[in-house]
Amino acid sequence: MNFHEGDTVMHWTYGLGKVVRLEERALSGKKELYYAVQIADMTVWVPADEKLENRLRPPTSKAEFKKLMNILSKPGDPLPDDRHERKTLLTELLKNGRAESLCRVIRNLSTYRHVRSLNDNDQALLRRTEESLIGEWGFALSITPAEAELQLHRLLTAAGD
């Protein structure tokens, strides 16, 4: 997967950003190509190695994104009550960085909070995941983040959030 300066990308952890430059950097005596990705007010350096496709991807297309909305309008899968198991499960689900995974984590945590209150880690993960999805949603559908957030919450409410 090759990205170029100016490309809009999704970072698996931080969300929507833009490739601002490619730069060869030396780390531990080994030179490697890195993508400098501007995400909000920070720059993230992403190595262009064999794990790149798990770290950066193109934003989901408008057509594909509309299909993903179906996930959000259904009840979530049950989550473990044990916070460590829950964190491990959700973190594992997010590792592929796909928009589908973001939707599933948001849906599952939103459903879970009806059964039990979310701990600090759950709340932070939900907030971070929602921000990432809302950024991509706005980009894919050419709407403002506020409109994307409103649509997200409407779908979750329809699912019984």
Tell whether 53 and 66 lie within a shared domain: no
| Structural domain harbouring 36 | 8-57
Domain end residue (candidates: 36, 57, 78)? 57
109 assigned to some structural domain: yes
Residue 75, C-beta contacts closer than 8 angstroms, at least 6 positions apart: 107, 111, 159, 160
Distance between CA atoms of 150 and 55, rounded to whole angstroms?
28
13 assigned to some structural domain: yes
The reported pLDDT for the residue numbered 159 is 65
CATH classification of the domain holding 17:
2.40.10
Residue 30, C-beta contacts closer than 8 angstroms, at least 6 positions apart: none
Which two tokens mark 56?
Answer: 């950066």
Q: What is the mean pLDDT of residues 99-122?
A: 94
Tell whether 21 and 44 lie within a shared domain: yes
Report the domain count for the chain. Answer: 2
44 assigned to some structural domain: yes
Longest dimension (CA), the chain: 54
* pTM of the predicted protein model: 0.86
Tell which residue, 84, 85, 86, 67, has the closest CA to residue 76: 86
pLDDT, tens only, 12-28: 888 999 999 999 988 78
